[in-house]
Amino acid sequence: MQSRRAFLRHIRHWALGAPALLGLVAARPRPGTALPASNMFTVAQLQYRGGQWDPHPRAVAPLLQEVRLRTSVETRDERQVITLHDPALFAHPFLYMAGARGFEPFSDEEREILRRYLLFGGLMLIDDVRGNKNRDFDASVRQEITRLFPDRSLKILPPEHTIFRTFYLIRTIGGVRIVNPYLEGIQVEDRTPLLYCQNGLGAAWERDYLGRWVASCHPGGEAQRLEAFKLGVNCALYALTVNYKQDLIHLPFIRKKLG
Amino acid sequence: MIALPFYPLLWHTASGTFRSSLTWEMTLSFTLTCAVAVLCVLLLYLQWRDLRPRVSLRVCWGLCLLRVVVYGLVLGMLLNPSLLIQKVLQILPPLLVMLDTSGSMGLAEAGKPSRLQQARDYLRGGERSALATLAQQYQLKLYQFDETARALPIERLEEVQPGGRSTDVLSALHTVLEEQRGTQPMGVLLLSDGAHHGSDTALGHLRQAGIRVVTAGVGVHSPYRDIRIASVQAPTLAFVHYPTEVNVKLQTWGYRGEQLPVVLTRAGRVVATRTVHVTTDVGEQQVQFELEPEEVGEFTYTVSVAPHLGEAITTNNHTDFPLSVARDKIRVLLVCGSPSWNYRFLRQGLKQDPGIDMISFVILRTPTDVVNVPENQLSLIPFPTQRLFTQELKNFDLIIFENFSYQLYFPWYYLENVRKYVHEGGAFAMLGGMLSFAQGGYTGTPIEDILPISMRQDRSDYRTVTQRMLLTDEGKAHPITRLASDAAENQRIWDMLPELDALNVVGHVKPGATVLGVSSSRVDDRPGVPLLAMQRFGEGRTLALMSDYIWKWNFQMAGRMDSNQHYLQFIRQMVRWLIRDPVLKQVRMVADASEFPVGSEVTGTVQVLQDDYRPAETATLSTKLRTPQGAELPVQYVATNNPGEYRYRFRADEEGIYTLDVQADIGGKTHEANRLLLRVQQAGDESQYAAPNPALLRDIAERTGGLFFALDDPARPGVTSVSEFFGGAPSYQVLEETRLRLRETLPIFFLMLSVLALEWWWRRRAGLL
């Protein structure tokens, strides 16, 4: 028996056409007992001071839906807005930080909390929707990352990085526009707890209340949007499985598929 | 006055030994005496010149000769000869004789007496035996030696038997030389086969002693045949399924041209064989084995060569060595039904443990999930259920189902394989979630049989309940849940751990299972619903953890600026208990030493713990002790004052490896200790190595300026030559002495007067006076 919310969601998708119908047909029957919210995957979006922390308020929900639709992961419907001082921060090991403008630097305490969050198993995806290199949001992010990890620097993730293989085999980075054809990250031992994309992933994910895409993707159009969703799904799976796809048993299959 | 000694004479009488010597105590100085002698010669010349024209040649010669006698007597008196007669005690110089009486001297080569008897025959045999000949010139001191040297009365020479367990030629020689340093011996006659088992350090110091050593090699030219396993180099610890090298050094004497099979066995079963081709009369060969242990435990391996015809010693044809085989890494199969935070942090906990080798399969997509790209754009791989659950199970030490329902992936009867795997010694754990326990469809399956809890009949067993895990009494001491050795600290840690937000409600706890933790909340109106339980199933162990929220013990603890180590420790301890890590056994044995000499008492301690790992107040021990020959021996146990602790002892009369297995009945359940392998060795090396070593004897002789010969060499030097080689002269202790000054004796005086008178008469006769 579906919940009321799920039923309404499916009606909405049906109203938009075939993909939703397919989703309805193929949707996995929900178990009778609801999963506690804290064990469902959700994206915690960081609210910070200054700048514009929420340029695309309805970006995360479509991503969560995509994760739920394509993978075996149970997700919540909506994001969780959180600050670095929120006691519930460590109940959400996946943190999404979006922005379009420069922001106030984190305090020392905030920085310490965030560092602990990332070092003890959390994953943070920073999404620059503005796309201006070294200005505004980008400049603030890079400055903050330097303070967060003074002994490490943002590095371009190589094509064979696990993030590009956790679910989809990704060869190109999507987004609302291709500012960088790559993803950057901070490496800590065998993990990359901090990912940075300047292509406006959230902008590509966002739908309005009627379910229409808010922004069009240039120059690649819907294919580019699909890549943005694929990267989002991979980030979610990376948060949940870390280097699972680096286990030796996967490598021959992945190599074969990559040709 | 100058005394000039003359040649002494020596004679023996019934009353003792006397020595006489002539000394010259010159009255005048040497110069003056020479001047007088010159004067006498001059006077003699003048006389001759004076007499020659006046008398005949005969008379001249006669008178001059008489004058020579007079002058000689005068000079003699000036020289003042004294006859010294001394009654002396003759002291012969000491000579040391050292006889090797170690075990190897008892060997007899074909058709010959034993080495010791050969040495004895040389020393005592025949009229011109060495001892008899040397005793005439030396004060003999006889020593016997093996690993130490000690004096041997000569009269007991025939009684001494070979028996020393090892030989330390150099140390014995050093000891004897040090002991006799004050007596200045002329040398050492050392009879030995040279089979030396001690250190060579003393070899470099022999020259400093300044005493010559004549070494007589025994058995040197006799054909010596032996095959010896000289050494086995093997690690004490090996890992299952990992190749391990065992290097064997083989020594051979006298089997040139033969092919020798060297066999490696374990418990009588041949593990490997190598064949060695012997190419020299005396030599060493290296043999290498590579073995790949197939099971964990303590094992005794044996390297051996079958005894061959004519071998001097066969006890050195085999050597045992113990090998502990451990798992190198714990192999864990983790199957997860859906990516989740619980999987994420469990994976981190297992991956971080360097002792764990993990393979995990996570269902990233179910058959009902919608695919929006071609398959080749997905990184998904097939889930090899058939291979994993029919062939590969035995290769894992632990299988974990984490929020995984089998129903979509493989048939029911694969679970029977899991049941069998656990029964035969494997380990299994089920962690909670919406796809676990009854909700995962495991009710009535072999998985329910092996788990410590039964499942609910209806499938909806997953409850959203905020709770903490409370430890039961058993949980407070159990190795899985004991996160601190101090009970209060352990409780404090568990009180601090974050709450869990859901659990799988189960049926009942099975008899024989142990509940370690319960929910702090009432669930379905029941208090104390189990959260963590475990049990033994057959030879294996299983665990049920009825929650998928323990990841919070990691990440949320970190968020509180506290440690996530308690979570990691819990995972580590859980895994190790499940795989029956030897460290966590409830019956533990240690020995008081790593080796024991043959004939000694072997002792050690057994510790017995209850299921909650507290010392067992009451337990019944049963043991099985096997000797190296496979016989069973009784073992005595005595409880100590410490609860759960016992001391064991038994007498080990055989050389080899004893196997001790202990079982303890604790509360009706039988627990085994790790098998203990106890090595008992014959002290000493005579049973291992008895080849003559003339090279050492030669070396000793060269370094000390001595001489080496082989007793069985027909051209060996005779005893007299040996004696001459040593040299030396007796010394004398003067007991009494009498000095007779000859010039003060009447005969000399009368002689002089007589000569003078004769000359006067002859001069008158010749008309010179």
Read off the pLDDT band of A25 (50, 70, 90).
very low
Q: Which of B249, B231, B101, B97 lies closest to B166 in space, CA to CA?
A: B101
The structure tokens listed for B693 are 């070593």
E strand spans, chain A: 44-46, 80-82, 94-99, 123-128, 155-156, 184-188, 191-197
B251 beta partners: B228, B284
The structure tokens listed for B583 are 């460290």
Asked if B339 and A72 come within 8 Å (Cβ–Cβ), the reply is yes
H/E stretch holding A205: helix A201-205
Which of B366, B463, B502 lies at the smallest CB-CB distance from A72?
Answer: B366
Q: How many whole angstroms separate alpha carbon B407 and alpha carbon B558?
A: 36
Work out the minimum CA distance from A157 to partner chain B, whole angstroms: 18
Q: How many whole angstroms separate alpha carbon A170 and alpha carbon A72?
A: 19
pLDDT > 70? residue B4: no
Contact B597/A129 with Cβ under 8 angstroms? Answer: no
Q: How many whole angstroms separate alpha carbon B559 and alpha carbon B498?
A: 11
User: Going by DSSP bridges, is the β-strand pair B540-545/B530-537 parallel, antiparallel, or unpaired?
Assistant: antiparallel
Q: How many whole angstroms separate alpha carbon A28 and alpha carbon A26?
A: 6
Asked if B379 and A74 come within 8 Å (Cβ–Cβ), the reply is no
Calculate the CA B81 to chain-centre distance: 72
**How high is the pLDDT of residue A33?**
47
For residue A245, list chain B residues with Cβ-Cβ distance below 8 A.
379
Read off the pLDDT band of A30 (50, 70, 90).
very low
Q: How many whole angstroms separate alpha carbon B339 and alpha carbon A70?
A: 13
Interface confidence, given as ipTM, is 0.86
Query: Can you count the helices (H) and strands (E) in chain A?
Result: 8, 7
Q: What is the mean pLDDT of residues B136-148?
A: 90
Mean of pLDDT over chain B: 88
pLDDT > 60? residue A24: no
Q: Mean pLDDT: which of B45-59, B147-161, B398-412 is highest?
A: B398-412
Q: Which amino acid is at B680?
A: V
> B549 touching A, CB under 8 A?
yes
For residue A121, list chain B residues with Cβ-Cβ distance below 8 A.
344-345, 348, 554-555, 558, 564
In three-state secondary structure terms, B326 is strand
Asked if B341 and A237 come within 8 Å (Cβ–Cβ), the reply is no
Q: Which residue of A has its CA nearest to B565?
A: A120
For residue B352, list chain A residues with Cβ-Cβ distance below 8 A.
none
**How high is the pLDDT of residue B444?**
94
Count how many Cα atoms sit within 13 Å of the Cα of residue B141 in the half-sphere of its side chain. 18
Asked if A247 and B360 come within 8 Å (Cβ–Cβ), the reply is yes
In A65-124, the residues whose Cβ lies within 8 Å of chain B are 69-74, 87, 89-91, 93, 116-117, 120-122
Return the C-alpha torsion angle B50, B56, B57, B58, nearest 10.
Answer: -120
Read off the pLDDT band of B684 (50, 70, 90).
low
**CA distances in angstroms from B209 to A43, B175, B189, listed in the order given:** 89, 11, 15
- Exposed / middle / buried, residue A14 (Cβ in 10 Å: 0-12, 13-18, 19+): middle
Asked if A41 and B555 come within 8 Å (Cβ–Cβ), the reply is no
Query: Can you count the helices (H) and strands (E) in chain B?
Result: 17, 39
- Exposed / middle / buried, residue B318 (Cβ in 10 Å: 0-12, 13-18, 19+): middle
**CA distances in angstroms from B185 to B89, B138, B704, listed in the order given:** 18, 9, 13
Work out the minimum CA distance from A114 to partner chain B, whole angstroms: 10
For residue B434, list chain A residues with Cβ-Cβ distance below 8 A.
31, 33, 35, 74
User: Going by DSSP bridges, is the β-strand pair B356-362/B330-336 parallel, antiparallel, or unpaired?
Assistant: parallel
Q: Give percent of chain B with pLDDT exceeding 70.
A: 98
Work out the minimum CA distance from B359 to partner chain A, whole angstroms: 8
The structure tokens listed for B4 are 């000039």
**How high is the pLDDT of residue A20?**
32
Read off the pLDDT band of B747 (50, 70, 90).
confident
In B331-360, the residues whose Cβ lies within 8 Å of chain A are 337-345, 347-348, 351, 359-360
Q: What is the mean pLDDT of residues B707-733?
A: 88
Q: Which of A7, A176, A175 lies closest to A77 in space, CA to CA?
A: A7
pLDDT > 80? residue B233: yes
The answer to whether the predicted template modeling score (pTM) of the entire model surpasses 0.80 is no
**How high is the pLDDT of residue A22?**
31
Which of A35, A73, A121 lies at the smallest CB-CB distance from B348?
Answer: A121
Q: Which amino acid is at A191?
A: R
Q: Comparing B691 with B442, which gets the higher pLDDT?
A: B442
In A189-218, the residues whose Cβ lies within 8 Å of chain B are none
In A4-23, the residues whose Cβ lies within 8 Å of chain B are 22-23
- Exposed / middle / buried, residue B687 (Cβ in 10 Å: 0-12, 13-18, 19+): middle
In B370-429, the residues whose Cβ lies within 8 Å of chain A are 370-373, 376-381
pLDDT tens for residues A62-83? 999 999 999 999 999 999 999 9
Which residue in B332, B379, B549 has the most chain A C-beta atoms within 10 A of its own C-beta, making it the best mutation to test that interface?
A: B379
pLDDT > 80? residue B165: no
B670 beta partners: B665
Q: Which of A31, A35, A27 lies closest to A11 in space, CA to CA?
A: A27
> B289 touching A, CB under 8 A?
no
Could you please report the per-residue DSSP string of B726-737?
A: H----EEEEEEE
In three-state secondary structure terms, A141 is helix
For residue A70, list chain B residues with Cβ-Cβ distance below 8 A.
365, 369-372
Which of B339, B370, B564 lies at the smallest CB-CB distance from A241?
Answer: B339
Contact B432/B503 with Cβ under 8 angstroms? Answer: yes
